[in-house]
Amino acid sequence: MRTLIVEDDAATRVLLVATVRDRHHHAEAFADAESVWAFLSRGAEPAFDIAVVDIGLPGEDGIAFCRQFRRHAAGRHAIILLVTADERAETLEAALAAGAHDYVIKPIERRRFTVRLAIAEQRSLANATGRHSRRALRAQTARAEALLQVAGEVNSQRDVPAILQGICNHTREALGVEVAAVLLHVPSGHRMELTAMAGGNTTLRDFLAKVPYPPGTSPTARDAGVVVIDDVERSEVAPIRALAGLGLRSIAFVRMLRDGEYLGAMGVAAVQRQRSFSADDVALLQGVADQAAMAIRNARLLVERQRSEEQMRNAQKLESLGVLAGGIAHDFNNLLVGVLGNAGLALLELPDDSPARQPIRDIEVSAQRAAELTRQMLAYSGRGRFRVEPVDLSSVVEEVSQLLRRVISKQTQLSLRLSRQVPAVIADVTQLRQVVMNLITNASDALGDSAGTVTLETGTVMADREMLAATYLNEQLPAGPYVYVEISDTGCGMDAATSARIFEPFFTTKFTGRGLGLAAVLGIVRGHKGAISVQSAVGMGTTFRVLLPATTSAAGTAEAATGAVPGRGAGMILLVDDEEAVRGLARRVLERGGYQVIEAANGEDAIGALATHRATVHAVVLDLTMPGLGGEATLHRIRQDYPHVPVIVSSGYVPEEEGTLAGVPFLAKPYRPSELVAAVKKAIDASS
């Protein structure tokens, strides 16, 4: 239909144009009557079917325009809708007397206007007696009503399958056919999926579920995407002829597009007798398909928005918990420096036969376990210490699985499907071992006391945005090649509520005292710019898949730690830390190692001490988190004024290795006495 819109308010004019075009009208829009008469003076334009006119136009008002337009050839048969904010009876009577058929009250509510427009369409069709036979007129009116019913179906439902099923029902009735179906495009599988069907039988449903694309309606089809076969049995296309064996006589298919995106196809079929689908039939089918496409697109946008909002909430929650975990780990690590360090010094001082050695060893072991807990908290917060290098993921999985075979339940069978062709990943091999170990242990626990299998698989996948969007948090990772490790079990599985919480710290389905394992896994994977996905169902087991970006670098071989106790050193060390207990412990350790020590409680004191002892300070041990002049600012001043002095950064809160901290030796708190002495000796030797 051709619709004329005359409205001086730009925003209202845009709304009116968008609404009529959604109903597949050709729209001509103007801001005043003068522009309309200028347009019509060309004489070549066909008549309008509907006119939407604002009553308060500048210059010639809407009532006067209606009176003139009704006399013009372009508006003689038009259905006129008057737009007004004036609901007085005399105004509306004057409008009807001037030739208006109906009115719409401002401000315009789009759904109400759509209903008025649909009624106007029906009136326009009803007035076209000189151009159509009475029978054709009734059919077109029924089809307009079908489109109106379809629009109502789209507006009243949010569930896409329900919308599409309702559309199929209305289309089947409007066209007088036995079957109507919608097949949606599945991009990841390069196939179609039967989503809704009205009429037909199970055999036809099964057949349509196996057809890759209805001929001529695929995403790459070069024609208009319309297929009409009046006699299926005589078709030259084999899949079409196969439909004759299912009882179909005639078919018509159209593509479903929205904003240029291919969404699928919609089709109808006649069963009882052969049918010739007219241009009007195809136009109605295309109109219904467009409505279906709009519903699908809107529903997907809504789902995407809800998913993004949920991901944002999860990210903010994890970020908040991460900051809290990192802060607790930092303060706790400072306390553990004193516990672990003093225990180590005591063991060095005590004779081998002292009865106090065993209790002190127990203290040291407990402190080391506490330190491991803080490392997990730092991993969860994303502030874990990563020493990255090219790593062969399959080798790491094989190594950890061999280690755990002796630890996990004897009822658990490990099945390895490791690819030897995977590229390396840039990762901290120790942290990767932790990830694999936690996931294998978690899978074994899911089996309980029952016999079962834990399958470990590695490989490479070309991840697109659709795949990455389905991973946990989906932090806008780039598409490309990823190496994956997949750990699946045949255990009890999880329901949706449990799956949604498994990465929360200290959430556990086991017993009290556990629950950081998966939270730490998530932190490590995020820190490596990777992704993790979970698939689980009650009674069906669980599958974790970790994706890490592939690299072209070759995997190296990790160097074994020597564990050698460093020899005695010499020289003056500037020890900078705002915690008095940490300074006291570090002083005793360094002095026992042969060094002289001067202390500073903050950055300002450290700069002053260096100015005083410029020539005698051999190295600086610098805490990062201090009040006043912080660690990074102090490091910048030292590098600027005393570039010859080596600096070891020490903190319980692991920094990002970038900017000022790039390439600076780092000593994580808590540390053993031997680790502090070794770090200082290595820094001094490197600067000599």
- Structure confidence at residue 674 as a pLDDT band (50, 70, 90): confident
- Give tens-digit pLDDT for 183-196: 888 766 567 788 88
Angle at 410 between CA 407 and CA 416, to 5 degrees: 80
CATH number at residue 448: 3.30.565.10
pLDDT at 255: 84
- Structure confidence at residue 12 as a pLDDT band (50, 70, 90): very high
Q: Which of 304, 339, 355 is the last residue of a domain?
A: 304
- Structure confidence at residue 560 as a pLDDT band (50, 70, 90): very low
Q: How far apart are CA 269 and CA 621, in angstroms?
A: 81
Beta strand 261-270 with 389-391 is: unpaired
Sheet holding 531-536, edge to edge: 412-417, 452-463, 480-489, 542-549, 531-536
- Structure confidence at residue 575 as a pLDDT band (50, 70, 90): very high
| The pair of three-digit structure tokens given for residue 242, joined into one six-digit string | 């196969």
Give the DSSP letter string of 331-390.
HHHHHHHHHHHHHHHHHHHS-TT-TTHHHHHHHHHHHHHHHHHHHHHHHHHT------EE
pLDDT at 635: 92
> Domain total for the chain?
5
- Structure confidence at residue 406 as a pLDDT band (50, 70, 90): confident
For residue 560, being part of any structural domain is answered with: no
For the chain, what is the radius of gyration of the CA atoms? 38
Same domain, 269 and 290: yes
Q: Which amino acid is at 116?
A: R
Among the listed ranges 145-154, 218-227, 547-556, which one has the minimum average pLDDT value? 145-154
CATH number at residue 222: 3.30.450.40
Instruction: Give the range of the structural domain holding residue 576, as residue numbers without chain letter.
Output: 572-687
Q: Which of 304, 330, 365 is the last residue of a domain?
A: 304
Same domain, 454 and 484: yes
Same domain, 266 and 174: yes
For residue 558, being part of any structural domain is answered with: no
Sheet holding 596-600, edge to edge: 596-600, 572-576, 617-623, 647-651, 666-668
Same domain, 160 and 216: yes
Model pTM score:
0.44
pLDDT of 41 above 50? yes
CATH number at residue 673: 3.40.50.2300
Same domain, 533 and 434: yes
Same domain, 668 and 628: yes
For residue 554, being part of any structural domain is answered with: no
Same domain, 368 and 395: no
Same domain, 125 and 43: yes
Q: Which of 108, 131, 154 is the last residue of a domain?
A: 131
Q: Of all residues in the chain, what percent carry a pLDDT higher than 70?
A: 82
- Structure confidence at residue 239 as a pLDDT band (50, 70, 90): confident
Same domain, 195 and 226: yes
Same domain, 493 and 620: no
Same domain, 52 and 106: yes
For residue 382, being part of any structural domain is answered with: no
Average pLDDT, the chain: 81
Average pLDDT over residues 182-210: 79
Contact between 100 and 120 (Cβ < 8 Å): no
For residue 29, being part of any structural domain is answered with: yes
For residue 70, being part of any structural domain is answered with: yes
Same domain, 334 and 276: no
pLDDT at 570: 84
- Give tens-digit pLDDT for 497-509: 888 878 876 666 6
Angle at 8 between CA 6 and CA 14, to 5 degrees: 75
- Please list, in sequence order, all residues whose beta carbon lies within 8 angstroms of the beta carbon of residue 160, skipping any fewer than 6 positions away: 195, 295, 296, 299
Q: How far apart are CA 650 and CA 667, in angstroms?
A: 5
For residue 595, being part of any structural domain is answered with: yes
pLDDT at 558: 43
For residue 356, being part of any structural domain is answered with: yes
